[in-house]
Chains A and B, each alone.
Chain A
Amino acid sequence: MNREEFDINQELEQMRQDYANLKERFDKQQIINEQLIQNAMKKDARRLFLSKKTVPVGIALTILAVILSRVQGMAWWLTLSLVLFGVLVFPAVYWVYQGVREEEIYNGDILSTTETLRRFKKRYIVLEAGICLYFFAFVVAATLFMTSMDISAELMWRRGVLTALLCVGTLALEYYFARRLLNACDDIIGRLKMKDE
């Protein structure tokens, strides 16, 4: 054993000793109090994922919107776009949340949990991009349908450009905030798979 190796082994042994002392100190502390336990058993974990109620509530709202649009005598294309939104978005939401069970995800090992989180976040961004595209198409279609109702070409363009900017801005913001999480996930996965691949 050379001098350098001896030093690092000594260092690690010192770390182990320091850790054992630290654990001993923590073990002697009360740490847990009644309120903490009660809170844990009553409170919800930070919502990482969509509530299970979101999809049924969303479907119910879409049906209600369709009924209202008919009662209010709105144009058929508006009703159809609502139905189309429901038909497209709910399977997409199911796809995003497929295999992600909040109660169980943190019970998994670090690698599989990180992979699940990464997959979920990427799919979530795709879903959001889809919704933005739909919104853009909706505004463009609405503008086209309304051309007969005395709307100038300039206003049409302005509306289209504004919507496109809104969509791109939303996506850019989502990507900006998701990037940190995705990068951290990539780093963890990369390090852990370094040897196994």
Chain B
Amino acid sequence: MPRRLLLQLLSALALGGLAPPGWAAPRFEDSIAQRVLACTGCHGAQGRAGPDGFYPRIAGKPAGYLYNQLLNFRDGRRHYPLMTHLVAPLTDAYLLEMATHFSALDLPYPAPAANPPADLAARGEMLVHRGDPARGVPACVSCHGAQMTGVAPAIPGLLGLPRDYLNGQFGAWRTGKRRAHAPDCMREVAVRMNLADINAVSSWLAAQPVPVPAKAAPVLPGPLPLPCGGIGQGGPP
């Protein structure tokens, strides 16, 4: 992406409150950034709170993860009508190009949330790093990477996201509103956890600073604790 366009994009986004949300006004340029202004209008550069929920950050997430989410919205495994409408007329190849574009962006992350109460933080930290063997809940880091920045190509990072968004995703997984390719390991994890533990994990995660650089780890720290679909499907179709 041309640096000039990126700078224009960022400076437009910095005006946040005044400009329409996330809407950059670069001069027309035939680029992938120009073609996907339909995405950044809502998601902004770092994710953005909207009247009907939180539009998560897409910049810098693993390409395979982003691509899988686009397919999930198109094919009815995730449900948000505006997303489904946008991606419905697009081919796999174009969706992959969009995912790769956003994956390559390297933008700063927002400051983490304030620390939760000590006992909640301790419980959350323990679950993230060690899981809950009694319930068969694996440690978050065993899939999402020791630094929790995800694992290429298809496992997302867990940092830089608000607590409410994380809680929302857990809820959606538990009710079946959000799904992934079968076998849906994250649904399995979400239904094994209780609500107090979900809150502890999301509260602790939201309070962690994002390491620099925040790139996804190249390989998993060990074997996957649960069978997961879509992990090998992040590459070109």
Bind each other: no
Chain B positions near chain A (C-beta within 8 angstroms)? none
